[in-house]
Amino acid sequence: MTSSLRSLLRTVAVFGRMVKFSHTVFALPFALAATALAARGHGIAIAQVGAIIVAMAGARTAAMGFNRIVDRRIDAKNPRTANRELPAGLVSLPAAVALTVASVAVFVGAAAFLGRLCLILSPVALVLVLGYSLTKRFTFLCHVFLGLAIGIAPAAAWIAVRGSLAMPPVWMMVAVAAWIAGFDILYALADRDFDRGAGLHSIPAAFGVTRSLWISGLLHGVAVAALVWVGRSAGLGPVYYAGVAVVAVVLGYEHAIVKPGDLSRLNVAFFNLNGYVAVIYFGATLCVVLFAG
């Protein structure tokens, strides 16, 4: 391997870490699940699926890039985030801006490919996914804004396939929004003291650990109930509900290992278990579409 190739790979890895590209596993499976349901009895081209994936990656990269840019001074003051790529000087501000602008362009281009309605709605999506980063400056409901920003993915994927909206993706949007908000509250527990001192808003900073865990659990209950309603509105069968049941068990375990007096397993709850939730749900939905008609 040449030195120039190694340098390129290191640069790609640094940018990938900056935007947490691996976290795409949280939202993309739900967008693909909605894509599969929308294509059932309707048909879909491989190019459409590719464009949906590209649009998701572009929007998410733009959102994370914008987040790192506007939060760079806050991140520098927080011991947990001081080693992130921008405050640590591993990525320059102009490079981060360039990546974010390029990602917006990729998203808009993919939306245009997917149809006129997707292109028209793309600015709305950008306002949501970019605007989330500013909400913790003025409201503890920032977790809900994040949930809504990511929750639009299934609805957007459905529109890309069908050209209109229906109840299954609406319920899936509710489910994703509640699920994301619930585990973002868990993630924010690690920063509750810093947020209070810095004048930032979050549910853990406003309500403390115990109440935050209850609120997170309630939101995850809403998410499971909404997934059940996805099945009811789409006429799905036992395989789908078995998948939802497994998702409920995983979420239950997530809350069992995070306790008010012991937050040592927050990373397991946030990264590992929620990745399983997304993959399990997509797998169950895809099985229904492919094998259950």
Around Cβ 217, how many Cβ atoms within 10 Å? Answer: 18
pLDDT at 23: 63
Residue 7, domain member (yes or no): no
Residue 169, domain member (yes or no): yes
pTM of the full structure: 0.92
Residue 9, domain member (yes or no): no
CA distance linking residue 38 with residue 170, whole number of Å: 12
CA distance linking residue 132 with residue 173, whole number of Å: 16
Taking Cα atoms as reference points, which of 223, 216, 217, 215 lies closest to residue 277?
Answer: 223
pLDDT at 24: 66
What residues make up the domain containing 58?
A: 20-291
Q: The tokens of 11 are what? A: 């640069």
Q: Which amino acid is at 48?
A: Q
3-class secondary-structure state, position 262: strand
262 beta partners: 259
Q: The tokens of 16 are what? A: 């990938």
Taking Cα atoms as reference points, which of 75, 36, 38, 285 lies closest to residue 167?
Answer: 38
Q: Please tell me the total count of domains within the chain.
A: 1
Residue 159, domain member (yes or no): yes
CA distance linking residue 60 with residue 64, whole number of Å: 6
Around Cβ 112, how many Cβ atoms within 10 Å? Answer: 15
Residue 248, domain member (yes or no): yes
Residue 235, domain member (yes or no): yes
What does the pLDDT profile of the chain (293 residues) look like in tens digits? 566 666 656 766 776 777 676 666 678 899 999 999 999 878 788 999 999 999 999 999 999 999 999 999 999 999 988 998 888 888 889 999 999 999 999 999 999 999 999 999 999 999 999 999 999 999 999 999 999 999 999 999 999 999 999 999 999 999 999 999 998 999 899 899 999 999 999 999 999 999 999 999 999 999 999 999 999 999 999 999 999 999 999 999 988 888 777 777 767 666 778 888 999 999 999 999 988 65
Residue 8, domain member (yes or no): no
CA distance linking residue 231 with residue 240, whole number of Å: 7
Contact present, 157 and 31 (Cβ < 8 Å): yes
Give the domain CATH number at 130: 1.10.357.140
Q: Which residue stretches of 136-237 are H helix?
A: 142-162, 167-188, 192-198, 203-234
Residue 6, domain member (yes or no): no
pLDDT at 8: 59
